[in-house]
Copies of this chain bind each other. A is one copy, B any other.
Amino acid sequence: MTIASLQTPTLGGEHDFINWIKSRSSPSKRMLLGPGDDAAIVEWGIHQADCVITTDMLLEGSCFRLAEAGPIRVGRKSMAVNLSDIAAMAAKPIAAVVSIGLPRQGGRHLAERLFRGMEEVASLFGVPIVGGDTNSWKGPLVISVTILGEVTERGPVRRDGARPGDWLLTTGALGGSILGKHLDFLPRIPEALEIHRLAPIHAMMDISDGLARDLHQICRASRCGAVLHGPSVPLTFEAQKLALETGKSALDHALSDGEDFELLIAMPEKSAQTLMAIQPLEGVLLHKIGHIIEEGVWLDPGNGEDFEPLGPLGFDHTLE
């Protein structure tokens, strides 16, 4: 592992950049050894918790447009998407490492702004960037972030525990994230931990590929089905705005756009009723959007007409 950047062919430049990163990093007593050695060391032994690990790669032109978004927002997103995966496991984020491939021209300046964005989001959740690997190459910008989390005393939450009768909840409005939210969202870390503390969560995901597709993931993993209640799906202003342009409905956007990074939660009806009544999250409203059934994934149009089959609409990671 090297966080390496030489502006001159001396060791000074590289050392300067590591120092720059160190100076930007939040201090953390879990970081026993930070950037600058072959690897970083994170305090774990005395905490006796299992380790949750997630990684996401962001690719220029595919996951963001650098010229439109700017490097600080891209840096924020690269950290936030990974934190969102840690939230989806109901785990606490502990440390991050970052590897970057930078275009040859202007790489140092770009790297600094990316790190600033990453650090902004990481420090909001007390997560130190403990190490990384910085390279320049002929290709477009690519960023890979890996985050370690630890499970709480209540254990992790997987996506395979949903059961018929569970209610489906979400933490916020969906759709139209391409208009900005996909860059500027806050991962639902405190919300996931608070819900996990208060209630038995059977299954949870963050909505990244689209509500319909991610619901299919929960159903397949849990070997069950689901009914989404169309009129109950909370819609963003952006979904409604996009709908005017695309001719699709705002609900279609909410079902298929993806990158909402809200939580999709299945939990027993009784617990869900209690949570809906007390609304325990600060500034975040829980919405009931459907329930788990034995099989099939359906959309209830809510007007008394028949349920419609709901396909796995959403982002499709096609490899050819």
Q: Which of B36, B43, B111, B318 interacts with A9 by CB under 8 Å?
A: B318
CB neighbors of B among A112-133 (8 A) = 130-133
Cα–Cα distance between A158 and B37 once the two chains are bound (Å):
7
Chain A contact residue count (CB 8 A cutoff): 98
Q: Which of B11, B37, B51, B133 interacts with A44 by CB under 8 Å?
A: B51
Chain A positions near chain B (C-beta within 8 angstroms): 1-2, 4-7, 9-11, 13-15, 17, 32-33, 36-57, 59-63, 82, 85-86, 88-89, 91, 95, 97-102, 104-108, 111, 130-140, 142, 144, 146, 148-151, 156, 158-160, 205-206, 208-209, 213, 216-217, 220-221, 312, 316-320
Q: Which of B53, B111, B221 interacts with A319 by CB under 8 Å?
A: B111
Is there an interface contact between B148 and A51, defined as CB atoms closer than 8 Å?
Answer: yes
Cα–Cα distance between A106 and B320 once the two chains are bound (Å):
5
Known: A137-B62, A158-B33. A38 touches B88 (CB 8 A): yes
Cα–Cα distance between A220 and B11 once the two chains are bound (Å):
9
* A13 neighbours in B (Cβ, 8 Å): 318
Is there an interface contact between B104 and A57, defined as CB atoms closer than 8 Å?
Answer: no
Is there an interface contact between A85 and B1, defined as CB atoms closer than 8 Å?
Answer: yes
Cα–Cα distance between A265 and B62 once the two chains are bound (Å):
43
* Contacts A40-B52, A42-B50 known; 6 new A-B pairs at CB < 8 A: A36-B221, A37-B221, A38-B85, A46-B48, A61-B139, A136-B319
Cα–Cα distance between A193 and B40 once the two chains are bound (Å):
18
Q: Which of B4, B48, B54, B146 interacts with A317 by CB under 8 Å?
A: B4
